Amino acid sequence: MPVHAPLAPASQLDVAGELLTLLRDTTTEPRPDTQLAALTLAVAADLPVLLWGEPGIGKTAALTQLAESLDLPLTTVIASVHEPSDFSGLPVVGDDPAEQGVPMAPPDWAVRLVRAGRGLLFLDELSTAPPAVQAALLRLVLERRIGALRLPPGVRIVAAANPRSSAADGWELSPPLANRFVHLQWTHDHEVVVRGLGGTWPRATFPELAPEKLRESVDFARRAVCGLLAARPKLVHQLPSGEARRGGAWPSPRSWETALCLIAFATAAGSSREVLSLLVRGAVGDGPGLELLASLDRMDLPDPEELLADPAGAVLPERGDLRQVVLEGVVEAVRARPERARWDAAWELLVKAVETGAPDLVVVPASTLAALRREDWDVPAAIEGLAGVVGLSRRADQAAERTAARVAVVSGKAGR
């Protein structure tokens, strides 16, 4: 039997390289991914994004895949291993400093980005950067300047950080730096990880903005933000009291402008409410963000006066909570201007709500509307369609009261 000589070391390295190539050979597929869609929308809006997540969760891999999908050169800068001068610029003494001054030379990675005219700048390990470096990053993140150099519009900025509890020698982000970012909590999805390790990852795609909706989207976003802040002026600026919360998303005029931009982009792109929720709360914080989302829901509701004018052609919201808000608004509109025709139209709307949705939603509005009846107003035939619903609700309430009373009696006897 012939004896084969072992491969030369160089050949073994070639085989190892071929194996590594096969391991890195992955593909992508269209797949719904809320956090990836939120990231790409913020990148499209040219807003700095900060991904928060535990070590090993896949933040760096997501940015690498995003850059490849968008065909953008990726430049990674580990913030924690740099000096402040690396971001503010290195002083270079010229021939006559007294006349020409001392220019601040940018680092090589910034020069490469300017020459390329486009790219994805990834600031990694942001939460392990000391305060002096964070201060130097302020101008880069907000004004996109490094020394005397300005990054071109085709460059997008994304950062990543670990929570202080899991960061090596971690620092809380300074409030001025934190308020410049859209904060996204990056988590792993079991199915995405399993399918990705099998060779197929979700594909990141730029959102498709509808050209005909651009102006309408801007108007909608401005009405939403300005309407909320006009009603809730204390939300304009709220610097959190705790150090940890100051390092996250909180409301300020700057972050409200960010939220406005995100709403406009999400509206023009037809993004889902889940994506918009992640972005808005990542800009101004959970509490103010949820208030803004609630006001957006109310903005989409039909005008009660339009419903009363044409109850037969009215279209009520599908969601139960929004439908109840609309019905209560209709009843309040009748209370504000009580007229027989408007009262009859309101009953017609309540009947339509029973026929197209959950009947229990009309119990309270029906009771309130009945109390608004004038003596000379005849009871409309439409009420007959609601009598069973209201009566059933009352019987259910009475049964619940009797049950509660019996439970109280039994409990009292058992306690003796």
pLDDT in tens, 139-174: 899 889 887 789 999 999 999 998 866 655 667 888
Residues 160, 124: Cα–Cα separation, whole Å: 5
Average confidence (pLDDT) over 94-115: 76
Q: Domain coordinates of the chain in residue numbers?
A: 31-91+104-202, 211-299, 304-411
Using left for φ > 0, alpha for ψ between -120 and 50, and beta otherwise, residue 95 falls in: alpha
- Sign of the four-CA dihedral 389, 390, 392, 396: positive
Closest-CA residue to 181 (of 108, 270, 106, 79):
79
Alpha helix (H) residue ranges in 8-48: 9-24, 34-44
Amino acid at 14: D
DSSP E strands in 106-217: the ranges are 118-124, 145-146, 149-150, 154-161, 182-185, 200-202
Residue 100: Cβ within 10 Å count: 10
CA angle in degrees (0–180, nearest 5) for 407-412-416: 145
* Tokens encoding 52: 């928060």
Residues 305, 115: Cα–Cα separation, whole Å: 58
Domain 31-91+104-202 carries which CATH code?
A: 3.40.50.300
pLDDT of amino acid 382: 64
pLDDT of amino acid 416: 53
pLDDT of amino acid 206: 84
Reported confidence tier of residue 412, pLDDT bands at 50, 70, 90: low
Residues 87, 290: Cα–Cα separation, whole Å: 35
Would you say 99 and 137 are in contact if contact means Cβ atoms under 8 Å apart?
Answer: no
pLDDT of amino acid 385: 61
pLDDT in tens, 313-372: 888 888 887 888 889 889 999 999 999 999 889 988 988 888 888 788 888 888 888 888
b/e sequence 67-89, b meaning 16+ C-beta within 10 Å: bbbbebebbebebbebebbbbbb
Alpha helix (H) residue ranges in 253-357: 253-269, 273-284, 286-299, 304-309, 320-336, 340-356
Burial class (CB in 10 A: 0-12, 13-18, 19+), 362: buried
pLDDT in tens, 108-143: 889 999 999 999 999 998 888 888 888 889 989 988
Residues 101, 294: Cα–Cα separation, whole Å: 54
Residues 236, 242: Cα–Cα separation, whole Å: 18
